[in-house]
Chain A
Amino acid sequence: MDVANVVIGFIMVLSFFGLVWYCIKGYNLMVGFFVMSVLWTSIALIGNSISPTSVMEGKSVIDVLTNVFQTGPENYGKAILVNIFFGAFFGRVLIDTGIAATLIRKVVELGGDKPRITMSLLCIVTAVIFTSMTGIGPVISIAVIVLPIMLSLGIPSPIALFSFMGSIMAGIFGNIVNFTQYQAFFATANESYASYDYNTYFKFGIIAMAVSLIVVLIVANLSMNKKISRAWAATPDAGTTVDAPAISWISIILPVIGVVVFKLPIIFGFIFAALFALVTCGKLKGGFASVCRMLSKQFSDGAIDVAPMIGFLLALAMFNNAATYASPYFKTLLGGAMPQTALLLCIVFAVLTPLGFFRGPMNLVGSGSAILAVVVATAAWPVQFLYPLFAITTVAPQHLDVTQSWVAWGFGYTKVPAKEYMKMSIPTGWIIGIILCAIVFIMYGNLV
């Protein structure tokens, strides 16, 4: 073992823990990941000048810098940004047409004054909505409808917040935009992984969504008192909004149906579903210029919804490429400890799922992209097996986590102390991780 590589590996591991600490402290992630990209690229270049590594073979300093700071964000943009922008546009349409709000009101009327049943129905419809929608804007738009309903039913605010955020997390397991986002990490880590598509993932995505939702609802129900509280509260919102027509409701799942059943490209799916929603809700009226203005506004509102996320994702793309240059040093340190069988890898992922919280090392939209590079470097894992494992340790912890922008917003909105919320969110994320890792082994373990 080369001493220089070991020393560099230790420095990188230390900086990695520094990043985890930085994430936990809640500092700006975009800046943090950019600084880490600079740091790891510099350390890797220094290391390569001492003891050349295979990943930098034949590359000049300019090539490395280009790969990290130019190609990384560029490739990410090509694969992701467009989908995210159109997904956000679609989300805005669902909000503006009142379709999402109508669906929520309808399920509430199905459940009535039965807090547990109505909460479950609200969680189911929220999860379905978030298989297509994404971004903090749509989350807030739905939250300001769902959370007051739950509170008015006497559901304690920590449980209302947890069950709502948990059901978004469940929906994200089936979310096509999130899939594309994470899949880009895999395509970067190993070119052969680029062919893995949403249709192949879909079966697991739906199972993961159902399992997560069930676990969230069980935890929420167990956390509730047998008898529900009664509150005297006042609100200026009378909730007399006009309902969107029933035919328009299907637009919520049209993008997913389009991709899975008709093999449509996702951007077309989003545009078609958005137009369907607008037509069926009678919003394409008032002349061409007026409709153009409305569409333009919805697109720009959607873009604003996801803008902070885009900045972070672009910095993350740099870090992701920098991590490929760091992987030889991680492999030197951790390669011997990496599991080599499907069962062991599933067990390791199940046990380490909590490390996906706080943007930790198991989280792809945290510091996990370096681990992905190491895992990919140690063995030729089939992507059908590896992707769901990382999806589990990314989606479940991340979307329940206090570092998630909309969860942080939820604390401010409901005044729920983070500690109260985390008592439910962390065990839930872990339980979901254990169950889903077992399912991955059963479904895809034979591919290894």
Chain B
Amino acid sequence: MQVQMKLGDMTHNLLQVDDEAWGLYAFSRDILNQRILPERKTEMIAKAIACGKEYAQKIILEYGSTDVRMIAQKLKLKLEFQDALMTGKRVLFACYTPPDKIEIMEEPVRKAAELIQGEEPAIVELFQQAVIMNTILGHEIFHFVEDQFEQEIYTRTEKILLWSLLGYKNYSTIRTLSEIGAMAFTQELNRLSYSPFILDVLLYYSYDSSSAEKIYRDVLGVSSGRCREPVEDY
């Protein structure tokens, strides 16, 4: 029987994972994952990260602050806090509903912060409840920003061809790019030294530690290049 890993050990290892690996992990959850070639994914991840950072800089410049709560206020976003929402094995952390509603699930944040308390001080420092909350808020603000610039922002303009029939071509945006962009945006805005994707594992852990470990192993698998997924014909 496999021994369950401790949260501290997982966190320590996940802090070493690079942005590209996190991007590939995000792609592995996308409905169109098998329709995109690995080289194209790498290119898209880099562009989505650059896009997130660029828009974070624009926001910082425009509002003269990195305080996400203040920025949310200035953008007239309605912030609501809810309990956890678990659908099967899917745990929801936050949600942006156009035009201006952001819901943040407090319970996973609180539980994660409590769990982290038992770890070494350096990790506790990185994942304080307020830090996690601001990270999530920053992520959701990016989706609002995307909506304002949807005609020009990379995460909404990048598309792939799904199929063509008699001259009609069906293109689709890639939802994962929005998520990667949002992570880069909030990382930049909150001056984080790690990818916010790490919260997928930390916030999930208090609900189902073995499933959290599965996510962790998926991330490490992608990171070490062991995870090779099939890609369809184009």
Contacts and interface: CB of A to CB of B under 8 A. Distances in A.
Q: Are A and B a genuine interacting pair, yes or no?
A: yes
Interface of A: 105, 108-114, 118, 144, 147-149, 151-153, 157, 225-240, 242, 413-415
State the majority secondary structure of interface residues on B. Answer: mixed
Interface in B166-193: 170-175, 178-179, 182
Contact of A234 (B31, B98, B203, B230): B203
B163 A110 contact: yes
B19 to A, nearest CB: 17
Nearest to B204: A234
B178 A230 contact: yes
| The 10 residue pairs across chains A and B that have the minimum distance between CB atoms | A112-B172, A227-B98, A236-B211, A234-B200, A229-B97, A236-B214, A230-B143, A235-B90, A233-B92, A231-B95
Nearest to B216: A236
Interface residues of B, number: 52
Contacts of B195: none
Contacts of A414: 87
Contact of A233 (B35, B93, B212): B93
Contacts of B232: 109
Interface string B208-227: 10011011001000000000
Given A114-B172, A144-B88, A236-B89, A153 B29 contact: no
Given A232-B93, A232-B179, A108 B31 contact: yes
A239 B136 contact: no
B229 interface: yes
B86 interface: yes
A261 B139 CA distance: 55
Contacts of B203: 234
B64 interface: no
Contacts of A110: 162-163, 170
Contacts of A231: 92, 94-96
A234 B93 contact: yes
Given A147-B87, A234-B203, A227 B99 contact: yes
A238 B143 CA distance: 23
A227 B140 CA distance: 15
Given A149-B31, A152-B31, A240-B229, A234 B91 contact: yes
B42 interface: no
B112 to A, nearest CB: 11
B95 A113 contact: no
Contacts of A157: 87
A263 B69 CA distance: 68
Interface string B20-35: 0000000011011111
Contacts of A152: 29, 31, 90, 175
Contact of B31 (A109, A229, A232, A415): A109
